[in-house]
Amino acid sequence: MSPANGIHGNDRGYIIPIGGGEEKLHNPEILDRFVDVCGGKESRIGIIPTASELEDTGRNYEKLFRKLGVKHAKVLPFITREDCQTGEDLQYIEKCDGVFMTGGNQLRLSTTLGGTAVAKLIRRRNAEGMHVAGTSAGAAFMPEHMIAGGKEGSTPMVDMVTMAPGLGLTNAFIIDQHFRERDRLGRLLTALAYNPFAVGLGLDEDTAAFISPEEELDVVGTGGITVIDPTHLTYSSMDLARRGDPVSLIGIQLHILVAGGRFDIAAREAHPK
């Protein structure tokens, strides 16, 4: 699976993973920025609450986007795989400027949407210019390689993370969320030890990465993003480690970026502003 590249000369849309717990009432900076990227109050936004087991999650986001001035915000209730194959909700995505995936359980997203017409449509529409945001589980689901679960802790261990196929909007990143709050450094490092090709993004709560069509990442929000770059990895003990063993990684580069910080994906360079 490859990243969503532009089609017929068009730029792909933004990819916007959010670390969960985004401010929704007093200063919803991340959601405001998402609305602006989508085109402002006249934009059309589809809300996918599949990850959540709470019946009111989608409606709450619909009310929130309308409160932010969006005239066309609609819940797309993809509950079963059958829901994801045909129907007017797919037609709505064809007209969307942006899609927003809520939090919950990323395995509910991958097992419900994975391989369906909805997943293929979101990938195609992102390649055509539609913007895709996801918070918490919705963020984890975005890349090709998805962190499905794991253990807390700062030291990588061979059995610390469970991986599964994600939506496949990008293969450049592996994304983890609630990062600082739930002590997830070790499981992201473990995921990268299995796949040193990608860059790891650890997103704190109320913090988002706005990844542009030009392959630049901008940080928005009140927390930080931990960027782990394995480009210069010189040694990994992953192939020697047994179940329960810690993993040695030498040459990993780690950046902490806060609001206004940037990361150039192609050059793999971090900048404070």
**Spans of the chain, pLDDT less than 50:** 1-3
Q: Would residue 136 show up in a list of annotated catalytic residues for this protein?
A: yes
Give the integer Cα–Cα distance in Å for 10 and 162: 35
Give the integer Cα–Cα distance in Å for 107 and 177: 14
Give the integer Cα–Cα distance in Å for 123 and 71: 24
In 3D space, the residue among 170, 177, 93 whose CA is nearest the CA of residue 135 turns out to be 177
CATH 3.40.50.10320 fits 15-259, yes or no: no
Give the integer Cα–Cα distance in Å for 205 and 229: 21
Q: What is the pLDDT of residue 2?
A: 45
User: Which distant-in-sequence residues (6+ apart) come within 8 Å of 145 by Cβ?
Assistant: 163, 165, 166, 171, 174, 191, 195, 198
Q: What is the pLDDT of residue 18?
A: 98
Which of 52, 136, 144, 236 does the annotation list as catalytic? Answer: 136
Q: What is the pLDDT of residue 5?
A: 54
Q: What is the pLDDT of residue 196?
A: 94
pLDDT digits (tens, 9 = 90+) for 202-256: 999 999 999 999 999 999 999 999 999 999 999 999 999 999 999 999 999 999 9
Cβ atoms of 243 and 236 within 8 Å: the answer is: no
Which of 43, 131, 145, 178 does the annotation list as catalytic? Answer: 178
**For the chain, domain boundaries:** 15-259
Grouping H, G, I as helix, E, B as strand and the rest as coil, residue 171 is: coil
Cβ atoms of 249 and 236 within 8 Å: the answer is: yes
Q: What is the pLDDT of residue 4?
A: 52
Which of 110, 145, 205, 255 does the annotation list as catalytic? Answer: 205
Give the integer Cα–Cα distance in Å for 107 and 164: 8
Q: Would residue 131 show up in a list of annotated catalytic residues for this protein?
A: no
Provide the b/e sequence for 226-237 (b: ≥16 CB within 10 Å).
bbbbbeeeeebe
Q: Would residue 88 show up in a list of annotated catalytic residues for this protein?
A: no
**Which residues are bridge partners to 207 per DSSP?**
221
